[in-house]
Amino acid sequence: MKIIYIMDPYCKWCYGTSDHIQQLFDATDGLLPFEVVPAGMLSGEYTQVQSPVNAFAINRTNASIAKETGKPFGKAYEASLHEKEITLDSEIPSRAIMACRAVSPKQTLTFAHQVLHARFHDGKDLNDTTTYLDICEQMNIDKQAFFLHFSSDEIKENTRKAFVFAEKYAEHYPTLIYEEDGEMDILTEGFSPYSLLELRLSKLLKRQKQP
């Protein structure tokens, strides 16, 4: 029994929903594992280049997301949109999340949310490995072990497999799936308020307890 959490480090809706998902995790007191699966939304042929010429349009979209989710984007992030062109490739931050899963699995959910925060609040470059060094330091994760995994062929392959899984089971991000004995129930696809997430999970847990 676990929650499968499919998200992407460049997904703005994942950032907007992150507090609700963290709250749902905290409400289970860690008794219901959350397995984080990065989605590879902007990887391979879907890699994008962010340009300052698009900053106005991006901020307009961000304002709509912030209004619906209640989570504002950071001033540092908004300023970074005007600074330079940057390649957006989900593979790099997704590998970081998978490396955390290998080194400190119980911290993976929080690590993933810190990656979202680094991007959409602090305006950090997710291509820069020092971004993950800072997160590891904040979370007391062994930096040497983390980077050994981050650069390994095994983590690269596990990241590729995560992308394949995400493509199969999620049409929108974030997606939460309740998995019990191989059976999967969708908790949410895209943004949902916390009250709705809590209600859906409560119903599923009650159903499992019935004889």
Residue 31 or 133, more confident: 133
Task: For residue 153, give the nearest of 113, 102, 191 by alpha carbon.
Answer: 102
CATH topology classification for 2-209? Glutaredoxin (3.40.30)
Instruction: Tell me the C-alpha distance between 127 and 82, whole Å.
Output: 17
What HEC string does 154-188 produce?
HHHHHHHHHHHHHHHHCCCCCEEEEEECCEEEEEE
Task: For residue 22, give the nearest of 148, 107, 134, 122 by alpha carbon.
Answer: 107
pTM of structure: 0.94
Residue 1: pLDDT band (50, 70, 90) is confident
Condensed to tens digits (0 to 9), the pLDDT of residues 101-132 reads 999 999 999 999 999 999 999 999 999 999 99
Instruction: Work out the mean pLDDT of the chain and round it to a whole number.
Output: 93
Secondary element (H or E) of residue 51: none
Query: How long a stretch of residues is the chain?
Result: 211
Residue with tokens 């199969």: 168
pLDDT of residue 211: 53
CA 137, 141, 146: angle at the middle one, nearest 5?
A: 105
Residue with tokens 């949310």: 113
